[in-house]
Amino acid sequence: MTMTPTPYTLLTPLPPRLALTASGWLALAATALPDGSPARIAIAFAFMLLCPGAAAVRLGTAVLGRGRDRAMDLLEAGVLTVAVSLAIGALVGEAFFVSHSFTTTRAIVALAVITTAAALCPVPRRRTTQS
């Protein structure tokens, strides 16, 4: 079997990817809510724990394709989603704090842009053909 790269496609269904895209901007919009309101806390925790990682995993899954030895199983995806979310949140925060340029808006916009890019980035489709 050979894997033949073909034109770009969007393997993951669109609604989850749009939801991921919206999540960061929703977190930004939620900062307009009163400090510490339950909705704002829930959005912030859910976003910081899941969304950047879920978008990165979506992108990785799309590139890997569906081959037996390549595909990511659900447990791997779940572990990576949380780990990459924690990591990206930490790295973005570090970049601003180490450079002494932190503001809440900058940090959330950076995270939202990363999440959006990973969620929407098109990837080459791998088509399996019999050799």
Partner 1 sequence: MNNPQPTSVEDEPDLLLDLAATSLRPDAATYSPFERLEMEPDAEAPAPAAVGTRRRPVLKTPVPWPRMISAALLLAAVILWLLSLRHVRLDEMGDYGLISVLPVTFWVSLGLLTLGFAVTVRQRSVRNGQPLLYVLALITVLHATPTLLYGTLRYSWAWKHVAIIDYLLRHGGTDPSNGPLSAYNQWPGFFAYNAVLLRMAGLNSALSYAAWAPPVFNALMIAPLFLIFRTLTRDRRVVWGAIWLFSCCEWTGQDYFSPQAFAFILFLAVLGIVLNRRNRAAARTRPPTLPAPSGPSRTSVAVWVLLLVPVIAAIGSSHQLTPLMLVLALAVLAFSRQRGPVLLWTLGASVAFMLAWDGTVGLSFIRSNLASIVDSFGSLDANATGPLAGAATASSQQQVIAYVDTGAAVFVALLALAAVLLRKELRRSSAFLLALAPLPLLAANNYGGEIIFRVYLFALPGAAFLAAMLILGPRRARRLQAIAFLLVSALTLAGFVMPYYGKEAENYFSPAEVAATYFMYQTAPHGSMIVGATGDYPGGSLDYEYYNQVSWLEGLTAQDRLAIEHDPVHALQDLLSTSATPAYFILTKSQEAEISIEGLVPPATLKLIEQIPGTAPQFTVIYRNADAVVLELTPSSVTGPQPPLSVKKGVTP
Which residue in 20, 51, 55, 80 binds partner 1 (CB under 8 A)? 80
Count of residues near partner 1 by CB under 8 A: 59
117 CB neighbour count, 10 Å cutoff: 13
By CB under 8 A, residue 130 contacts partner 1:
no
Which residue in 4, 6, 9, 37 binds partner 1 (CB under 8 A)? 37
Q: How far is the CB of 10 from partner 1 (least distance, A)?
A: 17
97 CB neighbour count, 10 Å cutoff: 11
Q: Which is it for strands 123-129 and 2-9: parallel, antiparallel or unpaired?
A: antiparallel
Select 108 or 119, whichever has its Cβ closest to partner 1.
108
For partner 1, the binding residues in 109-128 under the rule CB under 8 A are 111
Torsions phi, psi of 40, nearest 5? -65, -40
By CB under 8 A, residue 56 contacts partner 1:
yes
CB-hemisphere CA count at 13 Å for 111? 34
